Structure 1
Amino acid sequence: MGQEAEHVVIGVDPHKLSATIEVVDHQEKLLGTGRFTTDKAGYAAMLKYAKTWPERTWAVEGSNGTGRPLAQRLLEDGEQVLDVPAKLAARVRLFDTGHNRKTDARDAHSVAVVAVRTKTLRVLQLDGELEALRMLCDRREALTRRRVQTVDRLQALLAELLPGQAKRDITTGQAKAMLASVRPRDIAGKTRRRIAAEELAELVAVEVKIKKATAELKQVVLARGSRLMDIHGVGPVVAARILADVGDISRFADRNRFASWTGTAPLDASSGEQNRHRLSRAGNRRVNHMIHIAAISQIRLDTDGRVYYRRKRAEGKKSLEAIRCLKRRISDAIYRQLREDAAAAAAGSAGTGPGGHCGASQESSAVDLPPHIDTSDQSLPGPAEETLRPTG
């Protein structure tokens, strides 16, 4: 057979302004290399070069990070794209060269080798709805950070205008009342008050945008048929981030794998006769933070989560240890609900593609995060099979 009929893997080391590729066959034989810019002309040149091999699969490192824009463009052009986690590429680079020094060429080579040797890499699927959900989540997070910065500046100004009257958690109404009570006469005081009034106006505008963004997230979550918000502590923001980052729940074999990905499964740290576990700092930290928000909400309200937390405290666990136990149970509840949502979506619309419902496809979205975990990060047996279920 000629070269044109041979299936090849194109490893890609993506950057914002350039992409380095390496083309290999199934025996890891080097067939071609190249470095291209990521602008329109460079991308077109890269595609033209890749068409030398009609049977091709692209392997992009970090399709949820720097490689996301390129992976999206390839998917939109009908190319088959695999996601290669950076951790796997780093291992290959270390084993092949004996050190972990990085160059674009070595990175592209290691990405291609991972794609050839690993049969369980995620095949990315274009999902416009999930990509839009991810952008909306990122937008709201940016607005939240902007609000925190604005509040910090406003509080600093108010502390100078009204010494000793500063509030830790100030609202816009409180800030308006405080500003109305002060009328400085010196130029520095007048300038300080004017700037504080401008910061207050910006705070009001940001809060309006946050409220609008939250409502939009809720609308999108409900439109996808998700019932995540039935779980106590899971609101529109938490549910949207989970949906955006998880993508297709079927890529997780069970709740233990899902817990490893969310960073809620403890790690075995036993040594000799000492049997102990430690906190996992691996996994998707954004989703872990969302689960933490849900856990704190459950503890503050009259929920099964609060009962479970208090029981763990009564057993002698410290506060943070009890919270970690609760987070694991919430992770199990989220996994179960996502599976139920996926099953309902598949049953209700068997002909709908992955863009229609979350979990209707066996392929993952390009906006997903890699579920691969370290061999030392294997999930441990979780708590009892029962998970927190919505009440009422």
Structure 2
Amino acid sequence: MATISSTDRPVVIAIDPHKASWTAVAVGDSRQPLATLRVSVSREGYRSLRRFARTWHGNIWAVEGAHGVGAPLTARLADDGIQVVDVPAKLAARVRLLSVGHGRKNDDADALSVGIAALNATHLNTVSVDAAITALRAIVEHREDLITTRTQTINRLHVLLTRLTPGGLAGTLTANRAAQLLRSIRPRDAATKVLRGLAVDMVVELRHLDRRICKTDSDIESAVKDSGTQLTTLHGIGITSAAKILSRVGPIHRFRSAAAFATYTGTAPIEVSSGEVTRHRLSRAGDRQLNACLHIMALTQIRSDTPGRAYYQRKRSEGKSKREAMRCLKRRLSDVIYRQLVRDARLHGADPGGHSGATLLSRAAS
């Protein structure tokens, strides 16, 4: 964790990254811009940023979305031994909304918001660039892109088949089933011939996507096994979910506690109490991909004879609705995953520092 203390009076080099440009603003303790610079995303642009930062000694670098569009710059800085503070885009947006100027948005204002957020926040994550994690995340995101493309291809193919035969093809549409249907169709006019040709091309494309997805699944499985993680021993966590968790969480020592990890996964409820009424609501924040993994894990445990199911039923017997009981279970399972990641870090010689009191017993995992 990176804690920026006002007593140190640092100068933050705040970066608003884009695909083609980096906008830097030096922000001092007064929360006012000291200087600004906009450079292209290139080797010379990076050198200009470094020269810009050397104007102030003891500076701190803060990048919005350091694991997203800011990842290339973060990696270069890490190679040069420079630590980077990751400022979430939502946090910077809130700063901009509350700033003077009625939320006006441009690159300079965005970078300034990043710098103010870095100075004001008490616990922001320093970015740790791990080549294996970076590669795993790239593979996982590539698989998601392939799945999306495959779904789009299936939908287009289904539309064509409904125009070639009444009702199209019922049930699950696969390349083999579509090919079998197309073999029985004998075009008698030019339009049908064109539609059948397009459908055949889509079947070929679908088979190509299936092969690529199969290869990606194999690569992900190998990467998860090489990581040595035991996440897949938890009930409801498969290879794909484990890969997604590892790639999006990164080094577990970034999180000071299970509660901080739950906030990151979006399973920590938000208190909305008022007066004598004490209540909580669902958090819409956090990493929604991780939240989806926890949701799948919770559903799997509820459908099987597991301690997670017993916990869910106990919450239901206490008068909680299905959604409330599910939220409670997901919060509990977040702790389970956190403790497993801490255990994995210890087994592999990593120092998960700051996790005092973390038990090795999983209360809701099979």
TM-score (norm 2): 0.84
The alignment yields a C-alpha RMSD, in angstroms, of 2.9
Structure 1: how far apart are the matches of 2:305 and 2:187?
48
What is the aligned counterpart of 1:223 among 218, 221, 226?
Answer: 226
Residue 235 of structure 2 corresponds to 232
Structure 1: how far apart are the matches of 2:276 and 2:11?
50
Structure 1: how far apart are the matches of 2:240 and 2:23?
37
User: Is the counterpart of residue 204 in structure 1 residue 180 in structure 2?
Assistant: no
Distance of aligned partners of 1:318 and 1:28 in 2 relative to their CA distance in 1, 3 Å threshold: closer
Instruction: Give, as a single letter, the amino acid of the residue that structure 2 aligns with 1:389.
Output: A
Q: Percent identity?
A: 45
Alignment of 1:292-303 (within 5 A): 292-301=295-304, 303=306
Deviation at 1:271, TM superposition (A): 3.8
What is the aligned counterpart of 1:59 among 55, 58, 62?
Answer: 62
In the TM superposition, structure 1's runs of 4+ consecutive aligned residues that sit over 6 Å from their partners are none
Alignment of 1:1-392 (within 5 A): 8-25=11-28, 31-53=34-56, 55-97=58-100, 99-301=102-304, 303-309=306-312, 312=315, 317-346=320-349, 360=351, 387-390=363-366
Q: Which runs of 5+ in 2 are unaligned?
A: 1-8, 355-360
Deviation at 1:286, TM superposition (A): 1.1
Instruction: Give, as a single letter, the amino acid of the residue that structure 2 aligns with 1:237.
Output: T
Instruction: Give, as a single letter, the amino acid of the residue that structure 2 aligns with 1:60.
Output: V
Q: CA-to-partner distance for each residue in 1:65-93, whole Å, 9 max, x for gaps?
A: 33222222222233232212234434444
Structure 2: how far apart are the matches of 1:150 and 1:77?
44
Deviation at 1:323, TM superposition (A): 3.5
With a CA cutoff of 8 Å and minimum separation of 6, indicate the structure with the bigger relative contact order.
1
Q: Is the 8 Å Cα contact of residues 313 and 322 (structure 1) preserved in structure 2?
A: yes
Q: Is the 8 Å Cα contact of residues 217 and 237 (structure 1) preserved in structure 2?
A: yes
Deviation at 1:153, TM superposition (A): 1.1
Distance of aligned partners of 1:164 and 1:107 in 2 relative to their CA distance in 1, 3 Å threshold: closer
**SS of the residue aligned with 2:126?**
strand
Distance of aligned partners of 1:112 and 1:339 in 2 relative to their CA distance in 1, 3 Å threshold: same
Structure 2: how far apart are the matches of 1:309 and 1:298?
9
TM-score (norm 1): 0.79
Q: Is the 8 Å Cα contact of residues 14 and 20 (structure 1) preserved in structure 2?
A: yes
Structure 2: how far apart are the matches of 1:291 and 1:307?
17
Q: Is the 8 Å Cα contact of residues 248 and 362 (structure 1) preserved in structure 2?
A: no
Structure 2: how far apart are the matches of 1:295 and 1:205?
34
Instruction: Give, as a single letter, the amino acid of the residue that structure 2 aligns with 1:325.
Output: C
**SS of the residue aligned with 1:122?**
coil
Q: How many residues align structurally?
A: 352
**SS of the residue aligned with 2:61?**
strand
**SS of the residue aligned with 2:299?**
helix
Deviation at 1:257, TM superposition (A): 2.5
